[in-house]
Amino acid sequence: MELRKKPSMILHLASLLQSHSLFLRDLEKNVGFVRKWAFMGLIQKHPSVFRVTGTPPSVSLTPRAHRLAHQEACARASMEPLLVTNLRKLLMLCVDCRLPLHTVELIGPELGLPQDFNHCLIAKYPQFFAVRRFGRRDCLVLEDWDSTLAVTARETRLAQEGVVKLKTDGDQKKVKISRDGNYVGPFAFKMNFPSGFRPNVGFLEQLERWQKLEFPSPYLNARRFNATDPKARKRVVAVIHELLSLTMEKRMTSAQLDAFHAECLLPSQLLLCLIKHQGIFYLTNKGVRSTVFLKDAYLGSNLVDKCPLLQFYDKFMALCGRGNIDMCDNKNSLPTVV
């Protein structure tokens, strides 16, 4: 976790210094007594980003870092349409098309939402969102269902690859699964088994049947299906896949996924579901919390598609000599799987 904290801390300190310098003696007021010493170490370690001048000493951004820091506003502005779309899709995945506000706040950083999203984003789009009280909880509610958004990232990838729905069972039988578990079909998931995993024939035959199995869209209401039905169980995998796809880094902590149990009717034994589908998800328990990664979003340990905000983070971290860094490059990161 140590390597993950450092980029976050650097970016946090840079945001504090964008508008004005800060006396070192006042650093504690902004970050707390305990974290103050960690920030002091970062300031000393990264002279290309931070400079200390004057008496009493104050810290500010270097000219180059200052120019680059101002690009964050542009990155966040370009993120807004994506955030609105992803937030709408997230609510569409929920059985009642609503989420408790505290759950949105919990996953907000993973989605790329600004801290004041309730005011700067939700209030800006009343045609899509509303905040209403249900029982004792304030919830974010979807105001407008858009069927054009009810397309998963998996379906989009298959369409880009030219995979069309096969018409007959005979057509499906002509396509065989490969030894890496991948199968060309409209209901198949991309597989990436752990290194060293060698599936036997029986496993591959069972996986082939599962890859061919049709299942309802994650955007259909989960209450319509029997949870014990194999098709409904496969749909749960698709729901988790889509939830992770809506995040910036295609990952969530297990605690964040747990927050969707009631809203998406996820299985009570969610951990077993993730472990069972090790070709689709990577689960790490390293560090202080477990994290679930979506494997098909990564090439080795690198995220394939990065949103504008992550691209900005990469540019800024390059000043620290950590060019082309993934924000997940840490002890809790996805190991090379390809």
291 and 161: one domain?
yes
Highest mean pLDDT range out of 57-71, 84-98, 164-178, 293-307? 84-98
Tens of pLDDT, residues 208-245:
999 999 999 999 999 999 999 999 999 999 999 999 99
60 and 182: one domain?
no
**Cα 185 from Cα 51, distance rounded (Å):** 56
**Cα 289 from Cα 283, distance rounded (Å):** 11
233 and 318: one domain?
no
181 and 119: one domain?
no
Domain CATH for 62: 1.10.10
Tens of pLDDT, residues 8-39:
788 888 888 888 888 988 888 888 877 888 88
DSSP 278-338: TTTEEEE--SSS-EEEEGGGEETTEESS--HHHHHHHHHHHTTT-TT--TT-STTSPPP--
Tell me: pLDDT of 197 over 90: no
81 and 64: one domain?
no
Cα radius of gyration (the chain): 22
Residue 200 Cα to chain centre, angstroms: 33
Containing structural domain, residue 85:
76-146
223 and 166: one domain?
yes
